[in-house]
Amino acid sequence: MPTYAKDTARWSEYTRRIDRLLDDLPAELETLARPLRVGLGLPSSAGEGLLSYCFLSSEPPVLKYTSWSLDDLGVPESGQRSALEEGLFLASFWLFAALEGSDVVLSPGCAMPREHLLLSQIFVNASDVCLAACAPRGSMAWEQARRALADRARAALAYRRGSRADAGELMDAAGLLWAPARAAVAAALESAGAGARVDGLIAVVDELSRAHQIHHELFSVSADCARGVITYPVARVAAALGIQLDRGDVAGEIVGALVASGEGARIAAEVRGRAVACAERAAQLGFARFASEARALAGRIGESAELLSAGALLFGAEGAAPGAEGTREAPRGGEPAVERALAMAEASLLADPDMHEAWEIHRWGLIGQPVLTGWRFPVGLIQENLAATGKDISAWAESALDRYVERRFEYFEEPSSLPPDIDSLGLMLRLVRHTRARARYAAALETPLGWLMDATGADGSVPVWLTAGTRGPLGYSALQGSDCTMCMVYVIRGLLSFDRARLSGYARGLLAQVIRRLDQRGGIGSAYYSSLYLAWQLAELAGELTADFAAERAAIAAHGRALFERHAGRVRVTPQDAALLLLARAALARSGASTARAPRWTDVLVSSQRSDGTWDSEPFYIMPMQGNGIGFHGSRLITTSLCYRALWSAGGRGVPAGDTP
């Protein structure tokens, strides 16, 4: 029988014993038992939820350590081994359940009475009963349990130090959080007559757990900051960039800095090195299964390091994206070459009216759904670029708005728990001016506009996700967070396009918050988009602000110019970079801000165009990936629409009258 099928059958049997104890809890403790089930991967009863917890790749697989130990010792399958595995599995499970329950009750802001700590006592007793059935009192397993609980307590305190947290201490604590797994490992080795090898394997287990935990923390920065928990990546980024952790909500700043500064990629690379060293140590000690698992983890962390490195380049860190041709010498793009490039690009953009290639599709189980499809936002970006070159997009805009209203303003076509996002709302507000029934669509958008205003803070801040009137909070924990300067810029541009006379006062409050964020964070505050894209959008916004916004216009233009100049000095640029630089420079010129002389960015576009008229896909905005990770959505059509619009603008055509971008 395959290992996965064997483990599934075995652990399904374990869940019956878990369910019996959970279902027999006193009614007074049920309020804690319900969230605990979810925290341990037990949605309503154990069943498949427990197996999901056991197979979750972003957490240390502590409940598997016993099985791996027995495999590495060559203990054959038998009734005695099955009984031992079940007892040690349940001993670990109940112990971690007790610790999880205590963490919930003691967490800041928890409203549960402290009497719920009695639940942890019940679980500790259940763990002790299971361990006693497998290892006699006074054995190495019990000594390891005693030490592990003390180490775990020290780790928990390290995570509660808040702004006083030390990165080195948190590095150690990341492994010690999972120290209670040691007892079951020691019992497994002792039962097989390998007690002399316990210390060596426990060192491997601690290091493997540490690598798992920090890898997970890299992609839960926003959620951890929101809970007031300072983790190793948070402390490391704050120390490297001088961010003060004691001045309120810094989640957005930490999230942006983790990617933009390249610190996240460096952390991932270091943790990958630790996982590789752990694999080598396990192999030397003769624990082949642990070595294999550590190597597999190192591979996953390496992929994360590459993604974070790509993010750092996307956000303007030194260097260039992999494979970028940059400003290589090429024949100058004279008028005939530009005209040919425009004709080819236009044909490729109009070839498929639905633009399927640009759709954002998730088939990996995002928010628990087998398939999620988002097309309005990515295709809407392309359509806006076409409109800026004089194309009539009224039919498409009406179709997109109709579906947006029908789907209750959600991002995806399929039902999900994802709340409406403000950048999609900003785009839809701007699309209304392209329709032939403006009054009808304006009335329909009053609902999400009301949600937006309800979600606006006293300081003018607006979260990315509008949970008012929806089914609940974001269903996954990822790097992106709920704070993004670029998303607010989208909304402000949408408000001014939608109903400038009525919404100018409201937009002014949002503008003040954007300017404060730019003053404090610069381009780092753009958590979902590159700082170069933000430079262009700030330049466009500056051009759309009228005389009664003179002070705001000057501030926005200055920040747009500063970000532009930062990127304009790069030695190498990709085609998408070149397009955004051309568009930002043109928009700054329209708003009255002078810029440095443009390098040969047009030549980059003409010389890098594909034979079918498109340009290669490049990362455009951040999106969640498998394993609670981070990736970037991009498409040939999105990049091509930007290059097409940039060439159109650079050719002196400008923006058609009456069609402000």
| CB-based contacts of 268, cutoff 8 Å, min separation 6 | 215, 218, 301, 302, 304, 305, 308
Which helix (H) or strand (E) segment holds residue 624: the answer is: strand 621-625
Please check the confidence at residue 251 and state whether its pLDDT lies above 60: yes
pLDDT digit string, tens, across residues 543-592: 999 999 999 999 999 999 998 988 887 767 889 999 999 999 999 988 77
Q: What three-state secondary structure class fits 346?
A: helix
Buried b or exposed e, range 129-165, using 16+ CB within 10 angstroms: ebbeebbeeebbbbebbeebbebbeebbebbbeeeeb
At 646, is the pLDDT very low, low, confident or very high (cuts 50, 70, 90)? very high
pTM: 0.58
At 597, is the pLDDT very low, low, confident or very high (cuts 50, 70, 90)? low
CATH number of 337-650: 1.50.10.20
Instruction: Decide: residue 475, CB within 10 A, 0-12 exposed, 13-18 middle, 19+ buried.
Output: middle
Beta carbons within 10 angstroms of residue 458's beta carbon: 6
Using alpha carbons, select from 496, 637, 647 the residue that is nearest to residue 586: 647
Using alpha carbons, select from 557, 577, 582 the residue that is nearest to residue 645: 582
**d(C-alpha 451, C-alpha 468), whole Å:** 6
- 298 near 212, Cβ under 8 Å? no
pLDDT digit string, tens, across residues 509-557: 999 999 998 888 777 667 788 889 999 999 999 999 999 999 999 999 9
Percent of the residues in the chain that have a pLDDT greater than 90, as a whole number: 40
Q: Residue 185 to residues 69, 84, 98, 123, 198: CA-CA distances in angstroms? A: 7, 11, 19, 19, 8
Which helix (H) or strand (E) segment holds residue 104: the answer is: helix 79-106
- Per domain, the residue ranges of the chain are 337-650
pLDDT digit string, tens, across residues 445-480: 999 999 999 989 898 988 888 876 444 433 333 334
**d(C-alpha 16, C-alpha 19), whole Å:** 5
| Phi, psi dihedral angles at 465 (to 5 degrees) | -110, 130
At 242, is the pLDDT very low, low, confident or very high (cuts 50, 70, 90)? confident
Residue entry with tokens 């943790």:
271
Name the CA dihedral angle for 7, 11, 13, 19, rounded to a multiple of 10 degrees.
-170
Q: Determine what percent of the chain falls in helix, strand and coil, rounding each to the nearest 5.
A: 65, 5, 30
Q: How many residues are given for the chain?
A: 661
Section 82-99 average pLDDT: 85
Which helix (H) or strand (E) segment holds residue 201: the answer is: helix 198-218
- List beta partners, residue 4: none
